[in-house]
Structure 1
Amino acid sequence: MSISPSSSAQAARESVARRLRDLRRNADLTVTELASQCHWHHAKTSRIENARTPPSPSDIRAWCRASGAADQAEDLIAASQDAESLYREWRQRVRAGLRKLQDSYVELYRSTDVLRVYSPVLVPGLLQTEGYARALLSANARLLGVPDDAVEAAAARIRRSQIIHEQGHRFVMVVEEAVLYYQLGDADAMAAQLGYLLTAGALPAVSFGIIPMSTRERTLWPQETFDVHDDTLVSIELISAEVNVTQPSEISLYIKTFEQLRGMAVYGAEARALILRAIEALG
């Protein structure tokens, strides 16, 4: 199985590009004629129509005026902005600081009834302790070359995590056993994190599973980190960007993938035994 996390974003861009191309053609304008009326080079028109360059709001307004369809400009601007929101670079998202990024997710989590989380490398954000989150967010700031406000961001992440105690939500989380051994922060911070995970599965709204490294004949190999919000949105974390998938067929594929991964996990006493082994390995 192969999943292309950026395909939803590209499909949305191509939809906007097709609509703009159709407006030009319906107005009987050539690529060069439209470019002349919009006061830009004809190559820009081609790049926009082929979804290689996202049009700005002013580009779309000029395009629609030239095509005699000024009344469609605002709708197309909204569609274009939606398309670009499907693929958002981390550097752009953290310009206002890592703390504000944490706060920006609160409403999304509150509007989600069932959140499925799979992580092959990190403790899921909603189960992170402050020391673990601080080490992780500080490393992210260094990687992205942005100001390090990890202390404030970690505190915001912990506040956001209180949602797991609110009624009306269910959280199904699956991690690979290797997550328990990737140390973030010092040994004390990692021990505190693992200690918190010992009780995570007992939280009323949380199902917490671990896929053992000793699993024989895995039905599916480790995948990228992803969250599934109900059956309407999949959020995928890449090194450079967050990709949001909204196409129903892709969401269904991620849910199918999650269920296969969840089926390989252990829970309860078996999961706690794996965590205790990782705590012992800290020395």
Structure 2
Amino acid sequence: MTDELAEDRERFGERMRALREAAGISGRALARRLGWSQSKVSTIERGRKVPLGPDIRAWCQATGMPLVESDLCAVAANLRTEIHHEQDRLRSEAITAAKPLKGTTERPLQHVREKGQVITAQKPR
């Protein structure tokens, strides 16, 4: 993931946290109100997960901030689109790297994604 995309996700999470804090609600209390785990609230606030519209709507209602729902939904939709494009780009790069060069007899390469990095190894025979 690009640094810019990671920063955008973090900023979105910070906006969600700011709504909760402005309402004077702890993360644990918000999770209870919504019927979620506390880790889901934390994951959203840290920008590790971009919530879908229904979750944003519930968050805004629980924090008494329904007027920002449409803006947050639009930002989240844009983020999910960017994340999807980035995932497609990474997949494309991995496929391109796996194609053998014309005229070579090397075994096909196996690619494994680990923490956003592509690791390449020869497939066993």
TM-score (normalised: structure 2) = 0.66
Cross-structure match for 2:44: 48
Q: Which runs of 5+ in 2 are unaligned?
A: 94-125
Cross-structure match for 1:10: 6
Q: Write the deviation string for residues 222-278 of structure 1: whole angstroms up to 9, x where unpaired.
A: xxxxxxxxxxxxxxx734269xxxxxxxxxxxxxxxxxxxxxxxxxxxxxxxxxxxx
Cross-structure match for 2:89: 238
Greater helix proportion = 2
Which aligned segments of 4 or more residues in structure 1 are displaced greater than 6 angstroms? none
Equivalences, count:
93
Cross-structure match for 1:221: none
Judged with a 3 Å threshold, the aligned counterparts in structure 2 of structure 1 residues 25 and 54 are, in CA distance, closer, same or farther, namely: same
Hey, what's the Cα distance between the residues in 2 that align with 1:59 and 1:20? 11
**Residue number among 55, 62, 69 corresponding to 2:58 in the alignment:** 62
Q: Which runs of 5+ in 1 are unaligned?
A: 92-236, 243-283
Identity rate of aligned residues, in percent?
30
2:50·2:79 contact (CA, 8 Å) conserved in 1?
A: no
Judged with a 3 Å threshold, the aligned counterparts in structure 2 of structure 1 residues 11 and 241 are, in CA distance, closer, same or farther, namely: farther
1:132-211 to 2 correspondences below 5 Å: none
Cross-structure match for 2:20: 24
1:20·1:49 contact (CA, 8 Å) conserved in 2?
A: yes
1:89·1:240 contact (CA, 8 Å) conserved in 2?
A: no
**Residue number among 48, 64, 75 corresponding to 2:71 in the alignment:** 75
TM-score (normalised: structure 1) = 0.31
CA positional deviation for 1:72: 0.6
Hey, what's the Cα distance between the residues in 1 that align with 2:17 and 2:86? 31
Judged with a 3 Å threshold, the aligned counterparts in structure 2 of structure 1 residues 47 and 241 are, in CA distance, closer, same or farther, namely: farther
